[in-house]
Structure 1
Amino acid sequence: MKHLNKKSMLLLLLAFVMMFMAACGNGTAGNAGDKPAAGGAENKEAPKAGEPVKVVWWHSMSGELGKAVDKLVADFNASQKNVVVEAVFQGTYDESLNKMKASMDSKSGPALIQVYEIGSRFMIDSKAITPMQKFIDADKYDVSQLEENILNYYTVDGKLNSMPFNTSNPILYYNKDAFKAAGLDPEKPPVTYEEVAEAAKKLSKDGKAGASFAIYGWFMEQFFANQGAELLNNGNGRTSPATESLLGSDAGVNTMTWWKQMIDDKTMLNLGRKTDDTKKAFAAGQIAMTLDTTASLRGIVSAAEGKFQVGTAFLPKPKDAKDGGVIVGGASLYILNNRSEAEQKGAWEFIKFLTDPKQQAYWHVNTGYFPITKKAYDEQLVKDNLTKYPQFKTAVDQLHQTKANKATQGAVMGVFPEARQLTEGAIEEVLNGKKSPKEALDGAAKEISSKLAQYNKTVAK
């Protein structure tokens, strides 16, 4: 292995602790069964004079999302003659990232790659990127036109490492018709844990349950942030690398106690880990409340069309919670530093195109993801979409009302995918009555802390 340089060695070592990476889980990261297209061309050399720069972009957007990506790329390529972007679907986020690791030494990878939000710490530690801040500073690019609470997540050590691309957060979806039938005000959805539990009791009748939340680590992360509570020590891993998981703290125990009590009261169903299963149950009228990503809004409203009206509300929190809010989910775009300067600059030109209000309006309306550019809301396309789907205003308001702090900025750690799996295992243990909330969460926290120690040791080499 003597021929490997330091960066390649680091990537190889990091790969060992990232082996069991879990997909983003909101159903938008490409389907595991999709066959990825062949990798992009190597494109090692700078283009010849007069020829456009070729920028290979690896992404994980399949289906309708993939079509929206292709349209953006085609529009960019048609808008100028200096850069040609080639978008290449590479499977799930995990598959794409693993291919990137394998390509680093041979330089056969892309100039631009889409990486899910929980891969942020890994991408920084890999030393494989040119931080977005370098291009922002060189170009005097005005980041104030972008949403602060979205940029907040991807800013580490005072600099923006990647450009947000597909962004979402979770909201409470509820059946307005079921609320009316239960004597609840459909225009006043529950706000607190306590109000959700009370509503669930009234909604549970005629063989239907009040609610069901998928067993999803992302939701637990959000419940922490909504209480102003940090998931990791050292400022959520942002003031210095995290060494300890705080999963077993009061924020976690209180959340799981509330969740388990609704299961015990038979006012909530446990439908497992797949958000698709809770979506289907909600659309069928079997449950009256559920949690899901804002990116699913259009699909959820369409599935209920003709059956009942869908209401949306902020993510619930305990009545005595501190200031908090939601953390953004989704993915962002990284420029890789082993490509030519011309390719990296070409990737930056494409990124600037993507942040244009018109492109952001198109992306938002055709995918359900947030626009990251504030002026996109002034576009007629977005205004018309909000008229058709007024429920999305909940998502926008929740994003804007989120209090910026270390909790809502979101945790960063190199073993995030594994941590999510351990969190989901702990939630299952509690809901299935195998362990108490404190015992299950403390057990998972201990394992996560152990993995953090291994990771930090690897990065320090």
Structure 2
Amino acid sequence: MKYVNIRTSALAMTAFMMMLTSACGKAEVASSGSTAAASPSAAASTAPAKTSEPVKVIWWHSMSGELGQAVDKLVADFNASQSKVKVEAVFQGTYDESLNKMKASMDTKSGPSLIQVYEIGSRFMIDSKAITPVQKFVDSDKFDLSQLEENILNYYKFDDKLYSMPFNTSNPILYYNKDMFKAAGLDPEKPPTTYEEVAQAAQALSKDGKAGGSFAIYGWFMEQFFAGQGAEFLNNGNGRTSPATEALVNNDAGVKTLTWWKQMVDNKSMQNLGRKTDDTKKAFAAGQIAMTLDSTASLRGIVTSAEGKFQVGTSILPRPADAKDGGVVVGGASLYILNNKSEAEQQGAWEFIKFLTNPQTQAWWHVNTGYFPITKKAYDEQLVKDNLTKYPQFKTAIDQLHNTKANKATQGAVMGVFPEARQIVETAIEEALTGKKAPKDALDAASKSIAEKLAAYNKTVK
């Protein structure tokens, strides 16, 4: 599939300008209750070139707070491990802000050598023609991709080519209050896993002014509910066999999900607290709701916020009892190498990426942030084993990732207007939950609106 350069297209340059929120990182913030652990061991790095001065690699990222501190530690450790490449990490704001700054710098030399981009920016990054696919370095270096998690790599592969390297990865799980389950006569060791079980539990838990749960109105959750049913979110193989032209949000999977969600809100067993996951986190920590959905990256913060008050349990993302094989789509972000930099800079960026994938680095990153290790052998590190002992709830997330069936649904939808599409879906959910529209009508309107956005975007690429 060949694409024309879209750098000068006003439409493409504004396609992502809406300040929207990204998967498992509406705005990246530090995990609460993070504790310092030993830094990753200095891994030897192959020098990209023999020069007297180190090659400088500018890395733009969107990690703030404690996550930003973790990023700075990774960079410092890499720089100390060798003398041929010097990485400089530069915080650029939210994912949207960083991407907009990159677009503004595309025809200049002022941009980064390496950039962290949220997963829903993948299609745009490829279409932009601004990157050198990571696969080029994988092939030339004979880098063994089998050491990395297949279900994480799959999202970032297109036509079996890896365009970026996964960096911070998460998926959503169900969090529940074990103490409230006990008080309601429910088995705290047998959490609900299906839509039907969640609805039953929510009603049993709704008493004494407390609700069974609350799910934030977050487009990412709807995408995950589709994947859990083995249902594609977009046509043309989720936009992977060819560019998507239609959204399938109004199919049976979408209508079934939104109807289930609305029925719980209507019978008062589920609260509608709006679009912010921070609001559902606070309600959960306060014991006002018994169940919520959130990113695996929030696990430590959620567990810490409940310490001394109640026990936190975790369960897989719920799905209909009759759902087909599916699973979860990875969220988070990956790292792209920009092609308007010298070969030395690009090679230097690749050396840093390799450092980030080694088991020791991944173990440290996982323990200090809550994101998944992308390298399988990281789970053999004592640091990770100790962390799982302290936070056994994370095993739910690991099992959910490993049990995900690989198909186009779980590989994840891709489109150049994903941030806009996600906001459109959130509006549809909001309209249904508040009774403004019936679930099918709200999703029909969303599907039509996304198709219009896709048509406009696809005109800029061929």
TM band (smaller chain): over 0.9
Q: Matches of residues 269-348 of structure 1 in structure 2 within 5 Å? A: 269-348=271-350
Deviation, 1:28, is 6.6
Unmatched 5+ residue regions in structure 1?
A: 32-45
Q: Matches of residues 111-260 of structure 1 in structure 2 within 5 Å? A: 111-260=113-262
Residue 389 of structure 1 is matched in structure 2 by: 391
Distance in 2 (CA, whole Å) between partners of 1:305 and 1:219 is: 26
Residue 23 of structure 1 is matched in structure 2 by: 21
Contact 2:6 2:12 in 1 (8 A): no
Contact 1:281 1:287 in 2 (8 A): yes
Distance in 1 (CA, whole Å) between partners of 2:16 and 2:122 is: 13
Distance in 2 (CA, whole Å) between partners of 1:219 and 1:141 is: 34
Contact 1:28 1:62 in 2 (8 A): no
Residue 451 of structure 1 is matched in structure 2 by: 453
Distance in 1 (CA, whole Å) between partners of 2:160 and 2:458 is: 21
Deviation track 1:113-148 (CA, whole Å, cap 9, x = no partner) reads 000000000000000000000000000000000000
- Aligned letter for 2:264? M
Distance in 2 (CA, whole Å) between partners of 1:324 and 1:364 is: 25
SS in 1 for 2:7: helix
User: Which residue of the other structure, out of 365, 385, 401, is the alignment partner of 2:367?
Assistant: 365
Number of residue equivalences:
441
TM-score after normalising by structure 2: 0.94
- Aligned letter for 1:268? M
Residue 7 of structure 2 is matched in structure 1 by: 8
TM-score after normalising by structure 1: 0.94
Distance in 1 (CA, whole Å) between partners of 2:25 and 2:128 is: 27
Deviation, 1:415, is 0.4
Deviation track 1:326-381 (CA, whole Å, cap 9, x = no partner) reads 00000000000000000000000000000000000000000000000000000000
Q: Matches of residues 11-90 of structure 1 in structure 2 within 5 Å? A: 12-24=10-22, 26-27=24-25, 29-30=27-28, 49-90=51-92
- Aligned letter for 1:69? V
Distance in 1 (CA, whole Å) between partners of 2:239 and 2:24 is: 24
- Aligned letter for 1:91? G
Distance in 2 (CA, whole Å) between partners of 1:453 and 1:7 is: 15
Deviation track 1:180-202 (CA, whole Å, cap 9, x = no partner) reads 11010000000110000000010
- Aligned letter for 2:17? M
Identity of aligned residues (%): 80
Deviation, 1:17, is 2.3
Structure 1 stretches of 4+ with a deviation exceeding 6 A read: none
Distance in 2 (CA, whole Å) between partners of 1:148 and 1:198 is: 35
Deviation, 1:22, is 1.2
Contact 1:14 1:459 in 2 (8 A): no
Range moving further from structure 2, 14-23 or 53-62: 14-23
Residue 263 of structure 2 is matched in structure 1 by: 261
Residue 33 of structure 2 is matched in structure 1 by: none
Distance in 1 (CA, whole Å) between partners of 2:348 and 2:204 is: 57
- Aligned letter for 1:14? A
Is the alpha carbon distance of 1:30 and 1:185 closer, same or farther for their aligned partners in structure 2, counting shifts above 3 Å?
Answer: closer
Is the alpha carbon distance of 1:387 and 1:286 closer, same or farther for their aligned partners in structure 2, counting shifts above 3 Å?
Answer: same
SS in 1 for 2:260: helix
Residue 38 of structure 1 is matched in structure 2 by: none
Distance in 2 (CA, whole Å) between partners of 1:18 and 1:298 is: 31
Distance in 1 (CA, whole Å) between partners of 2:356 and 2:259 is: 43
Contact 2:23 2:331 in 1 (8 A): no
SS in 1 for 2:212: strand
SS in 2 for 1:252: helix
Contact 1:21 1:418 in 2 (8 A): no
Deviation track 1:34-77 (CA, whole Å, cap 9, x = no partner) reads xxxxxxxxxxxx99941110000000000000000000000000
The yes-or-no answer on 1:437 pairing with 2:436 is no
Deviation, 1:27, is 4.5
Cα root mean square deviation, aligned: 1.4
Contact 2:20 2:26 in 1 (8 A): no
Distance in 2 (CA, whole Å) between partners of 1:117 and 1:21 is: 16
Deviation, 1:7, is 5.5
Deviation, 1:170, is 0.1
- Aligned letter for 1:438? K
Contact 1:171 1:291 in 2 (8 A): yes
- Aligned letter for 2:139? D
Contact 1:168 1:295 in 2 (8 A): yes
Contact 1:7 1:128 in 2 (8 A): no
Deviation, 1:8, is 3.2
SS in 1 for 2:334: strand
- Aligned letter for 1:283? A
